[in-house]
Copies of this chain bind each other. A is one copy, B any other.
């Protein structure tokens, strides 16, 4: 027997129930740590799951960022410094990655407080996560406000990719079994991925 839930029901749900339900509808996604730093060099690390592929040529990726009505260190660092990194979370570090969602003060770097190591390259003015096997360095390209609810889509151009051995395979495919990328559903439930199959480009069947 199916359960039907309507807009009027959703509006009347208790806040936490509604948050859990609506957050979960978009399904499971990869857990990604976003690394940034302020002009003063203060680093920040925050877990995101809403990371999108915007385009391959030019190479663009985006992160969906909640409204910035309260203090948001990631956003502030990106607009002032214009660089950010995306770091796939290795599954064995999922608890530490989740801990970055706690409200630390700006002066407290989540790298130090949550057990991750900073790594820098000459090309990107933001810290990478050393423990991650697949990391992307981006330069801010565009910030798009979503007027419906003041969420922001922050888009960056891919300037650098750092991949551990065994990640980039023939034809440019990425092996995410080897990166052991953690997955997250909603804000709190972690999953790991098991590969089923790679399918060929689909064509209409005659």
Q: Which residues of B contact A203 (CB under 8 A)?
A: 102-103
A20 smallest CB distance to B (angstroms): 4
Q: With A and B bound together, what is the CA distance between A141 and B151 in angstroms?
A: 14
Flag whether A40 is at the interface (Cβ < 8 A). no
Flag whether A75 is at the interface (Cβ < 8 A). no
B21, A172: Cβ atoms closer than 8 Å: yes
Q: Chain A interface (Cβ within 8 Å of chain B)?
A: 1-7, 10-11, 13, 15-30, 32, 50-62, 64, 86, 88, 91, 94-95, 98-104, 108, 113, 121, 123, 134, 136, 141-142, 144, 146-149, 151, 153, 155, 157-165, 167-168, 171-174, 176, 181-183, 185-205
A200 smallest CB distance to B (angstroms): 7
B4, A162: Cβ atoms closer than 8 Å: yes
A-B pairs with beta carbons under 8 Å apart, 30 shown: A3-B161, A3-B162, A3-B163, A4-B162, A5-B160, A6-B160, A10-B161, A18-B56, A19-B57, A20-B173, A22-B59, A24-B172, A24-B173, A25-B134, A26-B53, A26-B61, A27-B30, A28-B28, A54-B64, A91-B196, A94-B197, A99-B202, A101-B202, A104-B204, A142-B146, A144-B146, A174-B186, A190-B199, A192-B193, A192-B196
Q: Which residues of B contact A58 (CB under 8 A)?
A: 11, 148-149
Q: With A and B bound together, what is the CA distance between A144 and B144 in angstroms?
A: 8
Chain B residue nearest in CB terms to A194? B192
B64, A21: Cβ atoms closer than 8 Å: no
